[in-house]
Amino acid sequence: MPRRHPLVIGHRGAPGYRPEHSRSSYDLALAMGVDAVEPDVVVSKDGVLVVRHENEISGTTDVAERPEFAGRRATKTIDGKELTGWFTEDFTWDELARLRCRERLPQVRPSSSSFDDEQPVLRLRDVLDLVRAGSLEQGREVGVVLEIKHATYFESLGWDVADLVHAELDAAGWSRGQLPLTIEAFESTVLLRLRERGIPALYIYLLEAAGRPYDLVVRKGKGAPTYRETAAPAGLDALVGLVDGISVDKRMILAPDKLGRLTGPTPIVADAHARGLRVFTWTCRPENTFLIGQFRSSRSPGAFGDWQGEWGVIRDAGVDGVFVDHPDLGVGFFREGP
């Protein structure tokens, strides 16, 4: 049954105001009234689940300025793409805990970057504990939407990410359904492994606007379905009974043309709902650089455009959950608005 108002999820906390995945980012998201927060997890050298958007961390920490870690700079192929930088799997948790968070987009969000270098990197356990504490303090249930990153890649290094996640959720008291838990990934393999373990959660399959899921590329090569094929009716049919829903790039709903003009909403939300699948979308942001062309107010990337216009199309499409970088705007628009 579609929700009356979509779930408002603090995407990496409140990164419109504080460096993403920092403690203050999560604290602010809770204070602003989100229904849930979304930590991304990657793996350290010693098997700790670390909260970072990617395992390459030079853009979100001060690691590049740490002379003791200069020799850790490396070039790797992650999910088929070559990257150069510093990677979590080359550091123990004790080493990662010495790093400090930084704003990933300082040109777009200079006020957030004023909080650079003040807060340590977090573990998944830290976020689970602070959300539980926040729920008790506020007297309401706040959920966690746990995104698993690069499971197939980490498996190639010898880590079973499903095992790591299950153990951490169990140790933190999040594996028994006491608080709302959603587990999501761009790879269905790790989702299905966790679902088979009986962890009470919503299981959401993340879909990019283009490309193919890396886990299926490894198994099937060019025979792997594209994300777009998975979002089509036949692809959705195949997901029924395997996952609880999908989470799509907002462009799959808005369908901008080559000039950035809206042609949506597409039928993807209705198609999924007709099959009993929930639909989340990412990411609702107000700055011009993130809006499709029709809703931009100027060429200034950090200035706010007509975000209400774009978000209204997403809301009216009937989505069940939205990821937001500015939780106060998200709560005000999607929950308290018309």
For the segment 135-176, what is each residue's pLDDT rounded down to a tens digit?
Answer: 999 999 999 999 999 999 999 999 999 999 999 999 999 999
pLDDT for 264 equals 95
**Is 23 a residue whose pLDDT tops 60?**
yes
Q: Average the pLDDT over 49-58 and give the result.
A: 98
Q: Is pLDDT at 242 greater than 70 in this prediction? A: yes
* Averaged pLDDT for residues 26-37: 98
Whole-number pLDDT of residue 1:
46
Q: What is the mean pLDDT of residues 54-77?
A: 98
Residue type, 58: S
User: Taking 60 as the threshold, does the pLDDT of residue 2 lie above it?
Assistant: no
Q: What is the rounded average pLDDT for all residues in the chain?
A: 97
Give the per-residue pLDDT at 338: 58
174-197 per-position pLDDT tens digit = 999 999 999 999 999 999 999 999
Rounded CA gap, 22 and 41, in Å?
Answer: 13
Which pLDDT score, from 0 to 100, does residue 233 have? 98
What integer is the mean pLDDT of 267-296?
98
Looking at the predicted structure, is the pLDDT value of residue 234 above 90? yes
Is pLDDT of 336 > 80? no
- Which domains occur in the chain, in start order? 7-335 (3.20.20.190)
What is the average pLDDT across 35-54?
98
pTM of the model: 0.97
Q: What is the pLDDT of residue 269?
A: 98
